[in-house]
């Protein structure tokens, strides 16, 4: 058993998965070196993604065709060869499903166009799961896969520890909480919903191996932790949802508890983006939770859940146009809010602590990073749940 766990924690299974999907480092046999050999240079040929020789004139450039590079910290680069572009784009897209670009689009889209109760449950589960995952990384301090033999396609998060994979945790939490929240409220084939949740989470999990950012054990551990948390929270999430909507203590608790958790985040010997990312997530969740409470106080009838099953609305041309309009208006307001609050909050903190806005080292200090990101993203969460729906109603998009 320990031998199996040791193997799953190693870098070789990740490297073998990458090779089976057509991703190779340029220095590996069967690929090509980062510099052309003397024979290749004499013949005027270079190595393309399939390992064949072509002349520079044929490619129109003097670098290896099919050779890409990922830029790491301090300007370092790692060159690699892609021999199967289907897997490359599939897993690059799947990896994005665990990034901010997905959270800031899918979660609000669900709130504006599908069901408020479903969105509430996903956001609460997502916030809890991601906090536990991020803190676990910095407590366990398990390293990421070694390179070589692994090719690393994402260098920003390489400074973080690996266990558990928060991509795997978030994908499992969001996909299965969406499935669990809708299966008793909407009429659709149970098998279809289960399969969709499984495929979504599996693609994101595999993308973490393909990009070389996690070991197999990291991914399995992340998915299992998320599944256990879902099983523990599912029996009580109606109670939690009710308290968040009705308790007069909801707004202060939703702000104070996440802030305390962010300020008391585990300290590391070097800077890691985990604290900032955690603050972003908890801030967005806090702002959204306050928004849920405000909506329930003033427009309760529009936000109450139903006990009977509903069919998903028929996607007519008019319905799709309205949904698209809601989404585009909402995303524009969210991005505008984020950019405005970043500038205002960072400017105020820079004035208070006497540092220029471009000083990256100062922005990484806890007394700056925590309020900067928490205020910015709590404003985003509040805007998405309160301001945008009001604007939708004003524009006749409800």
Element (H, E) at 307: none
Q: Looking at residue 346, what DSSP letter applies?
A: H
Question: Is 35's pLDDT higher than 50?
Answer: no
Alpha carbons 256 and 258: distance in angstroms, whole number = 6
User: Per mean pLDDT, which range of 75-79, 122-126, 168-172, 241-245 is the poorest?
Assistant: 75-79
In this prediction, residues 239-266 reach a mean pLDDT of 90
In this prediction, residues 266-273 reach a mean pLDDT of 79
Per-residue pLDDT tens for 74-91? 445 668 788 888 988 999
Question: Is 188's pLDDT higher than 50?
Answer: yes
Mean per-residue pLDDT over the chain, rounded: 79
110 contacts 118 by C-beta, under 8 angstroms: yes
Cβ neighbors of 302 (< 8 A, separation 6 or more) are 116, 295
Query: Where do the domains of the chain lie?
Result: 23-83, 90-394
Q: How big is the chain by its Cα radius of gyration, in Å?
A: 24
pLDDT band at 367 (very low <50, low <70, confident <90, very high): confident
User: Per mean pLDDT, which range of 45-49, 195-199, 241-245, 366-370 is the poorest?
Assistant: 45-49
**How many other β-carbons are positioned within 10 Å of the β-carbon of residue 61?**
9
| Strand ranges (E), 157-293 | 186-187
User: Per mean pLDDT, which range of 26-40, 94-108, 191-205, 306-320 is the poorest?
Assistant: 26-40
What was the pLDDT predicted at 29? 46
- Of 198, 209, 233, 203, nearest to 126 by C-alpha is 233
In this prediction, residues 282-311 reach a mean pLDDT of 71
Q: Looking at residue 310, what DSSP letter applies?
A: E
What was the pLDDT predicted at 113? 84
Alpha carbons 152 and 26: distance in angstroms, whole number = 12
What was the pLDDT predicted at 156? 67
Question: Is 368's pLDDT higher than 90?
Answer: no
- Of 163, 157, 156, nearest to 136 by C-alpha is 163
Q: Looking at residue 75, what DSSP letter applies?
A: G
Which residues does the annotation mark as catalytic?
Answer: 167, 214
User: Per mean pLDDT, which range of 80-94, 131-145, 170-184, 300-314 is the poorest?
Assistant: 300-314
**How many other β-carbons are positioned within 10 Å of the β-carbon of residue 215?**
28
**How many other β-carbons are positioned within 10 Å of the β-carbon of residue 142?**
17
For 83, the 3-state DSSP assignment is coil
User: Per mean pLDDT, which range of 35-39, 130-134, 152-156, 370-374 is the poorest?
Assistant: 35-39
| Total length of the chain | 398
In this prediction, residues 268-284 reach a mean pLDDT of 85
Q: Kindly give the pairing relationship between strand 186-187 and strand 310-311.
A: parallel
């Amino acid at each position: 058993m320990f031998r199996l766990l040791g193997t799953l924690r190693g870098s070789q299974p990740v490297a073998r998965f990458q090779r089976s999907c057509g991703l190779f480092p340029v220095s590996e046999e069967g690929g090509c070196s980062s510099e052309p050999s003397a024979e290749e240079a004499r013949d005027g040929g270079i190595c393309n993604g399939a390992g064949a020789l072509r002349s520079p004139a044929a490619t129109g450039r003097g670098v290896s065709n099919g050779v890409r590079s990922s830029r790491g910290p301090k300007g370092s680069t790692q060159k690699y060869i892609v021999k199967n572009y289907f897997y490359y784009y599939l897993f690059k897209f799947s990896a994005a499903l665990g990034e901010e670009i997905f959270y800031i689009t899918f979660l609000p889209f669900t709130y504006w166009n599908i069901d408020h109760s479903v969105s509430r449950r996903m956001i609460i589960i997502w916030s809890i799961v991601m906090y536990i995952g991020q803190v676990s990384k910095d407590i366990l301090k398990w390293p990421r896969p070694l390179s070589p033999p692994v090719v690393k396609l994402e260098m920003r998060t390489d400074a973080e520890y690996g266990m558990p994979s928060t991509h795997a945790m978030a994908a499992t939490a969001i996909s299965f909480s969406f499935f669990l929240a809708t299966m008793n409220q909407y009429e659709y084939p149970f098998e279809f919903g289960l399969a969709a949740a499984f495929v979504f989470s599996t693609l994101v999990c595999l993308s973490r191996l393909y990009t070389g950012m996690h070991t197999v054990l990291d991914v399995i551990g992340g998915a299992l932790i998320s599944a256990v948390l879902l099983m523990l929270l599912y029996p009580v999430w109606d109670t939690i949802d009710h308290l968040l909507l009705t308790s007069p203590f909801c707004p202060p608790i939703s702000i104070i508890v996440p802030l305390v958790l962010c300020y008391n985040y585990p300290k590391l010997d070097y800077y890691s983006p985990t604290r900032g990312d955690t603050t972003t997530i908890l801030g967005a969740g806090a702002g959204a939770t306050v928004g849920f409470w405000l909506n329930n106080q003033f427009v309760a009838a529009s936000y109450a859940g139903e006990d009977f099953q509903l069919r998903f609305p028929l996607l007519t041309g008019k319905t799709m146009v309205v949904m698209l309009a809601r989404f585009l208006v909402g995303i524009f307001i969210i991005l505008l809010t984020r950019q405005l609050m970043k500038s205002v909050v960072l400017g105020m903190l820079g004035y208070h602590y006497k540092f220029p806005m471009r000083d990256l080292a100062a922005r990484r200090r806890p007394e700056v990073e925590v309020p900067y990101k928490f205020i910015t993203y709590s404003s985003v969460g509040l805007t998405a749940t309160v301001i945008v729906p009001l604007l939708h109603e004003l524009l006749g998009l409800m």
